[in-house]
Amino acid sequence: MKRILFILALSVAAVSSAVAQGADVAANMDIDESGNIYVGGSSMRTDGNMAYFVVAYDADGVEQGIRYVLSSGEGPSIPAKLIADDGLGNIVITGTSPATTTGNDIVTVWFPQSEIVSVDAPGAAPLSFTLQQSYPNPVTQDGTALISYRLPNAADITLSIVDMSGKVIEVVEEGYKQAGKHTVSFSPQNLPSGTYFYRLTDASGSQVRKMAVIR
């Protein structure tokens, strides 16, 4: 029977710029309710083993922080899944690490979001709008997704569809909008199945949510 290791991560390394311990591999990405984007992967250490890393960006792509964590496996650690928020304010990253006697071990690490992003920072300006989850989600390629948002005041906005690399696929709506609730239809008929994001931006900032497209 394979071992399952659950490790409460301790500080290993901290850098203020890009991932730079060695050969870096980004494996997955997730987003939290505040629109922060998390990229998880593995980075080659000087001892030849791989450590997990998670780097966080805000909705505008500005790096917020990075966290390296030792996976405590017996060989190179390869993350397979990243969860931006487990419902308790923790980031979870899990994957496999080869072991000398038992084959591949499952290695799971979790740590507070507050270690790499600001959570409810005092004095932070709140967003002046609310972006709701698209419906239905997932949406079929021949279907239509409804995206709703609410503006407390009239504002210039841009609502766009973004792929996993951050490239804008389509601008769904933009311009000056009156206060109140707005609902926009989006048809993904020209998109391959997969995970996408939709982003609403006004002068106060941006908010991003995830949308899945299926056949």
pLDDT tens, position by position, 67-125: 666 555 555 566 667 777 777 777 887 777 666 566 667 777 777 776 665 544 334 44
Range of the domain at 192: 130-214
Share of the chain above pLDDT 90, in %: 21
Helix (H, G, I), strand (E, B) or coil at 111: strand
Same domain for 109 and 137, yes or no, is: no
Is 12 within a domain? yes
Is 173 within a domain? yes
Is 76 within a domain? yes
Look at residues 115, 146, 166 and tell me which one is the last residue of a structural domain.
115
pLDDT digits (tens, 9 = 90+) for 168-198: 999 999 999 998 889 999 999 989 999 898 9
CA 156 – CA 181 distance, rounded (Å): 14
Choice between 186 and 53, residue whose per-residue pLDDT is larger? 186
Contact between 54 and 40 under an 8 Å Cβ cutoff? The reply is yes
Is 122 within a domain? no
* Half-sphere exposure (Cβ direction) of 134: Cα atoms closer than 13 Å: 30
CA 86 – CA 187 distance, rounded (Å): 30
Average pLDDT over the chain, rounded to whole? 74
Domain count, the chain: 2
Look at residues 115, 144, 164 and tell me which one is the last residue of a structural domain.
115
Same domain for 154 and 109, yes or no, is: no
Q: Is the link from the previous residue into 138 a cis peptide, with omega within 30 of 0?
A: yes
Same domain for 171 and 88, yes or no, is: no
- Identity of the highest mean pLDDT range in 18-22, 31-35, 60-64: 31-35
| Backbone dihedral region for residue 61 (phi beyond 0: left; psi -120 to 50: alpha; all else: beta) | left
Is 75 within a domain? yes
Count Cβ atoms within 10 A of the Cβ of residue 58 and give its class: 0-12 exposed, 13-18 middle, 19 or more buried: middle
Contact between 211 and 139 under an 8 Å Cβ cutoff? The reply is yes
Same domain for 8 and 110, yes or no, is: yes
Contact between 182 and 4 under an 8 Å Cβ cutoff? The reply is no
Is 139 within a domain? yes
